[in-house]
């Protein structure tokens, strides 16, 4: 009995102690942290001002035949006061300053273009961030690696290309994603080939991030995307189809026709059909019309939707019977496709809206209202 009491008593005391300690610790932490945040804020302001000047101050014009080193010398002069300031700090302070400095540079890199970015990249090299960040690509924590990859990409440091390519095979998804982004932004459109080859099971999020860079390059990416259509990984194929549709380049129609006809996976075929609709090229019409009678309902629906986007008057005779069959979704898609063919299609819809079955009338009224 006695021992039990002692045990429980000591547990009680220990618990009280822990709770009290944690609470006090938390409050202190919060107060210190608030101060720390204010200090960081101040430093950030300080360096944003400094760098706004470094990036924008007018430099004396130099002759166009001068070497690039002359330009760099000018930039270096701008950095002298900042470097001096950093050197005069004790190491712990200097680390914080450098961290904030890097934050400012990265933030600027995200939002700026034009000449200012050249100066920014120079600063990044000159302040010795590049080798530091490349080193961090091998850090044991994945989030540090990912952050380093992102920063290197935003600051377009070409020297990091090899290290970033290696990071494409990092065990952690986030690091791979950031490395992919970085490579596209610093090595340009040619890097797309490597990236597509090395990517497996691309998630929609990855696709989304990559699509932003791809869209920036526009039509230049088309050959690589077409090449990507033959890659073994289905998610990459889907991504390439999607991007071809977004970029909207007509030479993509033929490979898409081939995919829509022969690819083993229904998902990919459906996507290809959808993409043809978005490209809106006349050459795909005949194929789309043949698909509206396909035994697979998913493909039928996609084909009807695609025709609705293109607006193909020639398809009207084939479309009218589709109002009578299939699921409600298909009927609505068919009605939309009919409406898209032009005045003749609209007349047809009005006719069915007056004379068809109850469901057909509802479908037609629905679509007529949509068209306004």
Partner 1 sequence: MIAKKCPKINALILTPFFRFLIIVQWRRSQTMNNIILTAEDQQHIRKLIEYKLTNCGYVVVAVEDGVQALEKARELLPALIMLDVMMPQMTGFEVLAALKADERTRSIPVLLVTAQSKEEEVLKGLEMGAEDYITKPFSPNELAARVRKVLLRKGGT
Partner 2 sequence: MFEWIINSYLLFVVLYFVGVNVSYTVMMTLSLREILKYMHHNSFSDYRQTVQSELAVGVSVLAPAYNEEATVVESVRSLLKLNYGLFEVIVINDGSKDRTLQRLIDEFGLFQSNQIYAPEIPSKRVRGIYRSRVASYKNLVIVDKENGGKADALNVGINVAQYELVCVIDADSILEEDALQKVVKPFLEDHRVVAAGGIVRIANGCEVKNGRVVRVGLSTHLLPLFQVVEYFRAFLSGRMAWLNMNALLIISGAFGLFRRQAVIDVGGYRTDTVGEDMEIVVRMHRTFRERRRPYRVIFVPDPVCWTEAPESIRILQRQRNRWHRGLMDVMRFHGKMLFNPRYGAIGTTSMPYYLLIELLGPVFEFIGYIATIMLFVRGTANLDMAILFFVVSLLYGVMFSVGGVLLEEISFRRYPNPKHLVLLLFIGVLENFGYRQLTAWWRIRAFFDYARGQRGWGKMQRKGFRAGA
Dihedral sign computed on CA atoms, order 216, 221, 226, 227? negative
- 325-344 mask for partner 2 (x: CB under 8 A)? ---x---x------------
Could you tell which of partner 2, partner 1, none binds residue 26, using a CB distance below 5 to 8 A set by kind?
A: partner 2
What DSSP string describes 315-340? GHHHHGGGGTSS-HHHHHHHHHHHHH
The secondary structure of 218-255 as a DSSP string is GGGGHHHHHHHTTSS-HHHHHHHHHHHHHHT-GGGHHH
Contact partner at residue 125 from partner 2, partner 1, none, CB < 5 to 8 Å by partner kind = none
Residues 203-242, mask of contacts with partner 2 (x by CB under 8 A): xxx-xxx-xx-----------------------------x
Number of Cβ within 10 Å of residue 287's Cβ equals: 18
Q: Which does 209 bind (CB under 5 to 8 A by kind): partner 2, partner 1, none?
A: partner 2
Q: Which helix (H) or strand (E) holds 93?
A: helix 91-111
Which residues form the interface with partner 1 (CB under 8 A)? 44-45, 48-49, 51-53, 55-56, 58, 104, 107-108, 110-117
Which of 352-358's residues contact partners 24+ apart within 8 Å by CB, and which partners? 352/323, 356/323
Cα torsion 8, 12, 14, 18: sign: positive
HSE-up of residue 170 (Cα within 13 Å, Cβ side): 26
Shortest separation between residue 49's beta carbon and partner 1, angstroms: 5
Strand residues in 234-303 grouped as ranges (E) = none
What are the backbone dihedrals phi and psi of residue 188, each rounded to the nearest 5 degrees, phi first? Answer: 80, -170
Give Cα separations from 346 to 179, 336, 350 (angstroms). Answer: 51, 10, 6
The site partner of 6 among partner 2, partner 1, none (C-beta below 5 to 8 Å per kind) is none
Pick what 131 binds: partner 2, partner 1, none; C-beta below 5 to 8 Å, kind-dependent: none
How far apart (Å, rounded) are the C-alpha atoms in residues 264 and 267?
9
- Which of partner 1, partner 2, none is residue 150 near (CB under 5 to 8 Å by kind)? partner 2
With binding defined as CB under 8 A, does residue 70 bind partner 2?
Answer: no
Q: Does 362 bind partner 2 (CB under 8 A)?
A: yes
DSSP single-letter state for residue 310: H
**Binding test (CB under 8 A) with partner 2, winner from 100, 121, 146, 279:** 146
Binding mask 20-59 for partner 2 (x = CB under 8 A): --xx--xx-xxx--x-------------------------
Residue 72 lies near partner 2 (rule: CB under 8 A) = no
Which class for 81: exposed (0-12), middle (13-18), buried (19 or more C-beta within 10 A)? exposed
User: Residue 338 CB, nearest distance to partner 1 (Å)?
Assistant: 27
Partner in contact with 346, chosen from partner 1, partner 2, none, beta carbon below 5 to 8 Å by kind: none
CA distance 174 to 14: 41
**Least Å from the CB of residue 332 to partner 2:** 7
62 binds, among partner 2, partner 1, none (CB under 5 to 8 A by kind): none
Task: Kindly identify the residues of this chain, within the stretch 178-207, that bind partner 2 according to CB under 8 A.
Answer: 178, 203-205, 207
Q: Does 107 bind partner 2 (CB under 8 A)?
A: no
User: Position of tokens 């009995």?
Assistant: 1
Contact 244, 252 (CB under 8 A): yes
Instruction: Output DSSP code: residue 232.
Output: S
CB of 254 to partner 1, least distance (A): 28
Give the nearer residue to partner 2 in terms of CB position, either 178 or 191.
178
Q: Using CB under 8 A, list all residues that contact partner 2.
A: 4-5, 8-9, 11-12, 15-16, 18-19, 22-23, 26-27, 29-31, 34, 110, 141-143, 146-147, 150, 174, 178, 203-205, 207-209, 211-212, 242, 246, 328, 332, 362-363, 365-366, 368-369
């Amino acid at each position: 009995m006695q021992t039990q009491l002692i045990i429980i008593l000591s547990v009680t005391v220990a618990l009280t102690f822990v709770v009290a300690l944690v609470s006090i610790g938390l409050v202190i932490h919060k107060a210190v942290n608030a101060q720390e945040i204010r200090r960081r804020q101040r430093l950030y302001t300080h360096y944003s001002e400094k760098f706004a000047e470094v990036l924008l101050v007018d430099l004396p014009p130099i002759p166009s035949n001068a070497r690039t080193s002359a330009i760099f010398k000018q930039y270096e002069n701008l950095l002298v006061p900042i470097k001096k300031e950093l050197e005069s700090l004790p190491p712990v302070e200097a680390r914080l300053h450098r961290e904030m400095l890097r934050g400012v540079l990265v933030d600027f890199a995200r939002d700026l273009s034009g000449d200012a970015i050249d100066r920014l990249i120079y600063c990044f090299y000159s302040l010795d961030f590049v080798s530091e960040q490349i080193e961090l690509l091998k850090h044991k924590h994945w989030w540090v690696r990912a952050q380093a990859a992102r920063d290197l990409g935003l600051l377009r440091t070409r020297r990091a290309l090899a290290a970033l390519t290696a990071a494409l095979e990092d065990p952690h998804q986030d690091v791979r994603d950031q490395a992919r982004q970085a490579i596209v932004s610093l090595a340009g459109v040619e890097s797309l080939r490597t990236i597509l080859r090395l990517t497996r099971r691309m998630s929609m999020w990855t696709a989304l991030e990559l699509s932003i860079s791809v869209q920036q390059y526009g039509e230049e990416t088309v050959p690589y995307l077409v090449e990507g259509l033959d890659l073994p990984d289905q998610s990459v194929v889907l991504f390439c189809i999607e991007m071809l549709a977004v970029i909207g380049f007509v030479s993509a129609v033929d490979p898409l026709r081939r995919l829509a006809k022969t690819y083993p996976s229904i998902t990919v075929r459906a996507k290809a059909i959808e993409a043809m609709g978005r490209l809106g090229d006349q050459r795909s019409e005949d194929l789309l019309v043949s698909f509206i009678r396909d035994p697979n309902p998913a493909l039928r629906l996609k084909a009807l939707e695609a025709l609705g986007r293109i607006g193909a008057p020639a398809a009207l005779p084939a479309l009218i019977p589709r109002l009578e069959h299939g699921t409600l979704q298909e009927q609505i898609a068919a009605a939309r496709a009919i409406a898209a063919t032009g005045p003749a299609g609209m007349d047809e819809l009005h006719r069915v809206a007056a004379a068809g079955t109850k469901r057909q009338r509802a479908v037609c009224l629905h679509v007529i209202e949509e068209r306004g």
